[in-house]
Structure 1
Amino acid sequence: MSMDKYTKPFNPKLPQTAEDVPNKNSLNSYLPIRTKGNDFDWDAVIGLVLRGLLRKKVEKYGYEEFTQDCQAAFEEKLGEEAFWDVLQEMYFDNKDIFSVSPELLLFRAQKGEYAQGDARIASMFTNLLQNMRVDNFDAKLNFIEREMLATLRNKMKSDTSLQANEQPYLPYLAKAFCDDLKFLASRPKYLLSEIEQFLSFYGFAYTAQLSLAISDWRSGEAPVAKPLYFIMDHERASSERTHIKNHGYKLFNESASRLYPMLTMLELLQPSVGEKNATKVPLWEISKGIQESKSTHLKEQLEHFARAFKSHRNLDTSLNESDCALDWLANIMKLAIAQFSVGERFNINKKYVSEIETHLASPFIQNRRRAGLVLVLNQDYIILLTNLAVGEKDKLRFHELISAFKQRGIFVDKQTEQELIKFYERIGNVERMSDSGDAVYVRKTI
């Protein structure tokens, strides 16, 4: 599946009576967080993402067996048993071999090596990748490492089980993610050192931007990056900085409260609900499908579903009477939010936002006491994002770099821009042609 527009006609199978409305809200797409059981292991997630990227797997072949095969290969070629002891200590005893090539990390994506929570987190990145493929990683290896990798490759099998099953909700971010991963894939050693940080960043950027975009569905157009403000983790966050105060953590936290209500409703609205291996579509695409539909029954179907859902959930929410199908979709989303505004469901949604902050957002949130909670980027994330933004170019003008940050969901105010320039000057990857920001160029650090 590519990032091309979804072309199937919108033909939902919506419950039409209160008896047909499901009792439980379920969430199976667009976000991997659930109300509980969200612990995951980055090593396993990385292995699964690479397995999907390579379309290869290593099954029924344990690490010990691999070690023995490498030993046999070297003893045959080198003829010195003592030399193997040195290699074993260097590469195998502490699993340092995993730093040789990303392909070795497929051992962490074997059955029994990962849990359901790991698979869910990995699926978020697999869907962002939209079935992008890398055949192998061209790492600059020495003779010994090439032999070890060849031994593993002989045991690899093709694998197409980890495929995208969602149309991108945020096509602009999916494109940036793919472009950035291609850049990293061409530098395997850098990828190995940065992939956890890379996935951590995109996991949060995607969740935050999804929370900002999810209510903006009516136009039927794909979302664009929405302002969400970060500061560097050493900066002061005074209350006079209105963007930081109003369009940073506070905005993210408020927006995140819409995710669970609207995504669980989106599950019921999927045109292909119940179909095996069906591709899920975003709410804005459903809106587009309604606008382009020639069906005369859509308005009635949506209206019946809205009334049935309202009755089943015992909601007293007022509905806007209309002859327009889109207005009834608006009523449905209004009911989705309303059901989580009271009682036990209110607490469930509060817990859901807390789970998001704990498992996906925590590296990016700091408590600044009087200034409250703010969104931050530490220096390691900034260096990584700078290298990704500059990409294959030699350098970028500073304002072009700021635009590239925005395409990845990162917005900064003028004060942080000045702090960034000072930071780049300290680490020596900036060229200042004049005091003007337009004449400041930023280079990669790799």
Structure 2
Amino acid sequence: MYLKADLKPSSNSMASFYPISTNENSNDFEWDLVTNLFLSELYGLTAEKKINKLRENLDQFYKDLEQQFKADFLDEKAWEMINNIYFRENNIAKISPKLRIFSLTDESQGLSAEKRIVALLKTLLKNEFIYTNDVTNLNFIEQKIYEKFESVFQSQYPNYDGLITYLPKLSSIFSKDLIFLTNHSKYFLENIQLFLELYTFLYTAQLSIIINGWKEASEPDIKDCYFILDTEKASRERASLQRSGYKLVEKNLDSIFPTLALCESLESSKGHKYPLWKIVTLLEEDDLPNLESYFDAFIENRNLKINRNKFNTVHSACEALHQAYKAQFAKGETRASRNSNIVRTIKNIILKPFIQTRGSAGTVFVLTQEYLLLLTNLVIGERDKLRLYEVIKEFELRGIFFDKESRKALVSFYERLGNVEKMSDSGDAIYVKKTI
């Protein structure tokens, strides 16, 4: 059997699947700290319980480097200058992505909100893959620091915790984009925070759209989610933007916590943790009595007035449990504020950089130029250029859709940027070039 042997009602948690807490005061985090922690995990430099040990190793690295430079340079003031520039001013973190590890402090051990964000992003990493950290065009001092660091802190596989991503298709694209970025280390350093903000948002938007589709019992596809550029005007008449934009995501935000909490409650403590759409494929008819007794105990524990008929299948039992998990957060219930806290936090932190209110069109998803430029380089990847319609298709693989008006604005943006190439006077063959 896949399920826990004895399912019992307990406190609601979705910690294994999504990083927002029901306690709003524990959701404040800084993206800069998320980036530092993510990079340390990406290169396998540390696990959550080893940050203090890592600091000891970094301190030893610093002492060895000091001895090396003092031996290499006759001028006693040389090391003092190097120390001031690269360590006291933390410019060492600008040499390579891995060297951002020097931005971690002893206080990083207690960054619970940042660690939860990183735990989510780790589910999108490519398994059994070591990410590159090659950098070029370093000066003499930087090259020696880089080589010394690489010899001591070799890249390892990221540490995985047995969690299966809820969105495998988006995870695959994230991994592809991340590999491209790590192959261009300087660009990666400049844009890693934007990249993490973008994918945390895309993950959240797609999760909200598909969260109630678990009964299909199959890996979810990337769903339509429409954006405009920040230079555009929006109107109520733009049907796709109204039907399949911000409002579509907002509609299902309150389903994220109850669905993931149900998922967490069903998980066996052994092996992988699976999404609900996967769990229903693992259940057997022998699990039905366990699900039935769990449902009865749950509605009694939560004082829910829900009538139930006898369940004929595990799917019908799961559907009833899903409704019960939602019902405990309904308006007027004692737990209602906990789910509303999560929805409010998602809007105010994760979605906020990507939403604007535009007159009669209401709230819409907007891509600013910095995110659009990063996305353009990601979708073109190692190629020199890509046809416009292929660029748009690649955007859609990442959950970003544009209507006809936005596609026109996109061409105008690229023309202003100067990275388009028209192969015919009619404009039928427009190529977009990357900027790195």
Is the Cα–Cα contact under 8 Å of residues 328 and 335 in structure 2 kept in the other structure?
yes
Whether 1:112 aligns to 2:107 is yes
- Residues 1:284 and 1:345: Cα distance change in structure 2 (over 3 Å): same
Q: Which moved more, 1:260-269 or 1:56-65?
A: 56-65
Is the Cα–Cα contact under 8 Å of residues 131 and 182 in structure 2 kept in the other structure?
no
Alignment of 1:212-291 (within 5 A): 212-270=209-267, 272=268, 274-275=269-270, 278-290=271-283
Please state how far the C-alpha of 1:444 moved relative to its aligned partner.
0.7
- Work out the percentage of aligned pairs sharing the same amino acid: 37
Instruction: Give the distance between the partners of 2:181 and 2:3, measured in 1 at CA.
Output: 41
Tell me the equivalent position of 2:125. 129
Is the Cα–Cα contact under 8 Å of residues 298 and 325 in structure 1 kept in the other structure?
yes
Please state how far the C-alpha of 1:85 moved relative to its aligned partner.
4.3
Q: Which residues of structure 2 form unaligned runs of 5+?
A: 47-52
Aligned length in residues: 425
Instruction: Give the distance between the partners of 2:311 and 2:62, measured in 1 at CA.
Output: 69
Is the Cα–Cα contact under 8 Å of residues 257 and 342 in structure 2 kept in the other structure?
yes
Instruction: Give the distance between the partners of 1:411 and 1:175, measured in 2 at CA.
Output: 18
Q: CA offsets, 1:365-391, max 9 Å, x none?
A: 112244322111100000100100011
Q: Aligned letter for 2:148?
A: T
Instruction: Give the distance between the partners of 1:72 and 1:337, measured in 2 at CA.
Output: 62
Q: Which moved more, 1:296-305 or 1:61-70?
A: 61-70
Whether 1:352 aligns to 2:342 is yes
Q: Which residues of structure 1 form unaligned runs of 5+?
A: 1-8
Alignment of 1:290-329 (within 5 A): 290=283, 293=284, 296-319=285-308, 321-329=310-318
Q: Aligned letter for 2:121?
A: F
Tell me the equivalent position of 2:15. 28
Q: Which moved more, 1:244-253 or 1:298-307?
A: 298-307
Q: CA offsets, 1:234-260, max 9 Å, x none?
A: 211111112222321111111111001
Q: CA offsets, 1:152-211, max 9 Å, x none?
A: 345537877832431111111110111111001111101000000000000010111111
Q: CA offsets, 1:375-420, max 9 Å, x none?
A: 1110000010010001111211111111111111111111111100
Tell me the equivalent position of 1:6. none
Secondary structure of the residue aligned to 1:258 is helix
Whether 1:72 aligns to 2:67 is yes
Tell me the equivalent position of 1:202. 199
Tell me the equivalent position of 2:188. 191
Please state how far the C-alpha of 1:104 moved relative to its aligned partner.
0.9
Q: CA RMSD in A?
A: 2.3
Match of 2:176 among 167, 174, 179: 179
Is the Cα–Cα contact under 8 Å of residues 170 and 222 in structure 1 kept in the other structure?
yes
Q: Aligned letter for 1:13?
A: A
Is the Cα–Cα contact under 8 Å of residues 53 and 131 in structure 1 kept in the other structure?
no
Instruction: Give the distance between the partners of 1:431 and 1:268, measured in 2 at CA.
Output: 54
Q: TM-score, normalised by structure 1?
A: 0.88
Q: CA offsets, 1:210-238, max 9 Å, x none?
A: 11111111121100101111111121111
Please state how far the C-alpha of 1:149 moved relative to its aligned partner.
2.0
Instruction: Give the distance between the partners of 1:411 and 1:65, measured in 2 at CA.
Output: 50
Tell me the equivalent position of 1:3. none
Q: CA offsets, 1:57-82, max 9 Å, x none?
A: 47133877655543432221121223
Is the Cα–Cα contact under 8 Å of residues 292 and 311 in structure 2 kept in the other structure?
no
Secondary structure of the residue aligned to 1:113 is helix
Whether 1:83 aligns to 2:78 is yes
Q: CA offsets, 1:301-337, max 9 Å, x none?
A: 2222222222222222344544222111111111111
Secondary structure of the residue aligned to 1:341 is coil
Q: Aligned letter for 1:262?
A: T
Instruction: Give the distance between the partners of 2:265 and 2:255, measured in 1 at CA.
Output: 16
Whether 1:426 aligns to 2:416 is yes
Is the Cα–Cα contact under 8 Å of residues 21 and 27 in structure 2 kept in the other structure?
yes
Instruction: Give the distance between the partners of 1:11 and 1:351, measured in 2 at CA.
Output: 29
Instruction: Give the distance between the partners of 2:4 and 2:404, measured in 1 at CA.
Output: 47
Please state how far the C-alpha of 1:41 moved relative to its aligned partner.
2.4
Q: Which moved more, 1:301-310 or 1:409-418?
A: 301-310
